[in-house]
Chain A
Amino acid sequence: MTDAEIRALILELIGEIAPEADLASARDQDDLREAFDLDSMDFANFVVALHDRLGVNIPEVHYNRLFTLERAIDYLRDAVAQ
């Protein structure tokens, strides 16, 4: 998967969780939780959705690697590649 595809997927999934979110405003370094007002349950659902779509296992201890777009793209690129 290309970074652009991962980025698009992340935003799509967030869009499903937070339909009000202004996805176009997303910047790579922003904390997604802050930018889109995601609480713990939203974030858990986000991980569930990533798991379903990409088939990657994301241990709980790795959740913090998904907090920004930039880091999430890095993390997921590697995870998918494995």
Chain B
Amino acid sequence: MPALGADMEAGTLVEWLVKPGDRVNSGDVIAVVETQKGAIEVEVFQTGVLSDILVPVGERVPVGTVLAQIDGAERATPAPAAEPVITPPPIVAPRKTPPLRAVVAPRVGRLKVTPAARRRAAALNVDIATIVTGSGVEGSIRLADVESAGAAPVRAAAKRGLDLSQMRKAIAAAMSRSKREIPHYYLTETVDLSAASTWIERFNVDKPPVERILPAVLFLKAAALALREQLRLNGAYENDAFVPSSNIHVGWAISLRGGGLIAPAIRDADKKSLAELMGAMRDLVERARRGNLRSSELTSPTVTVTNVGDRGAESVTGIIYPPQVSIVGFGRVVARPWVVDGRIESRPLVTVTLAADHRATDGHIGGLYLAAVARLLQEPEKL
């Protein structure tokens, strides 16, 4: 069972997409598990023949539990050296290797749970991580909290799709942890979008709707490219150390109607064309809203970009999604007076913000980063 988020402790297997005897290749989706972030497709990172399914449909198991075994498993491609540190733990155990102990993802941002509550939770099969607020001393989760969680009606048979209340809890856990642990610093830069707006207009004007791009794509690309210059904003802070990533996998924040937010990865965003990014964004939005994302999409982001769109506020001050170390925010594009060559003109402006982890970088790096974003947006044709 892969860890599909910083605070995930367990998941429910809802569907097997392969059966014993099937050949599987690295990258294949082999199962669907339900998590707080909806049903997630689990990929396999080995090639071989699936010999045994160890966790039946409907069973809830902790992160790290071996789900299935593959005969003749060979690691298809070794993970690139600088792959994000948040790679999921092994999902499938190669057969005929020494017995595998369950790999339990270290829990960071400890919950306070009383011993009695923890034991009862195990007996009632209550996932403590789903209890948002404890009523005990110092906010600890105590017996009564577990018992009321255990008494809550068992949800109908797991289905694919989103459970927004579960997602709310996951967001609460991740964001609380972030605000508790991460010393954020915030920087803001207002960027003239005249060049970018004109360029997009021209780019879109003779294209059919499906090929048109949104300003958000330029933002995404500029944010990703600027990270190449400041790689210390890209990676993960774990176990008291920052581990940079040379791959720029942007978690694209997608809000869900009815509430909820998820930021699946657009991999190597700095290397993709604008059209590819538009396609990736469209695909992710659609699948995120259906609750149909893949495990690797949730675990691989090295940074988050949030764009409030044309109905949002003028600027957004983000909360970092742990263990990432930065989040870049783009506000609504607004027409405002702007001084150009000593004269005031009306210009489309966007407020770009950076919230970054002060343990990993200082404001100087962040300032350089925002300056790079601003510079890149002045030359949209090069994006």
Contacts and interface: CB of A to CB of B under 8 A. Distances in A.
Interface of A: 18, 20-21, 33-34, 37, 39-42, 44-45, 47-48, 50-52, 57-61
B257 A20 contact: yes
A52 B210 CA distance: 9
- The dominant DSSP class at the B interface is helix
B201 A20 contact: no
Contacts of A44: 209, 212, 214, 282
Given A18-B257, A45-B282, A48-B210, A40 B205 contact: no
Contacts of A18: 257
B67 interface: no
Given A18-B257, A41-B216, A60-B201, 19 more contacts: A33-B311, A39-B309, A39-B310, A40-B214, A40-B310, A41-B281, A41-B309, A42-B285, A44-B209, A44-B212, A44-B214, A45-B282, A47-B209, A48-B209, A48-B210, A51-B208, A51-B209, A57-B208, A60-B204
**Range of interface residues on B (Cβ < 8 Å):** 10 to 19
A19 B215 CA distance: 25
Contacts of A45: 282
Contacts of A47: 209
Interface string B199-237: 001001100111010111000000000000000000000
B253 to A, nearest CB: 11
15 contacts: A18-B257, A39-B309, A40-B215, A40-B216, A40-B309, A41-B281, A41-B282, A41-B285, A44-B214, A48-B209, A48-B210, A50-B209, A51-B209, A52-B210, A60-B201
B258 A20 contact: yes
Can you list the 8 inter-chain pairs with the closest CB atoms, starting with the nearest?
Answer: A48-B209, A51-B209, A47-B209, A40-B309, A39-B309, A48-B210, A37-B257, A60-B204
A59 B205 contact: yes
Contacts of B114: none
B255 interface: yes
A34 B311 contact: yes
Nearest to B211: A48
Contacts of B212: 44, 60
Interface string B282-318: 1001000000000000000000000001110000000
Contacts of B311: 33-34, 39
Contacts of B309: 39-41
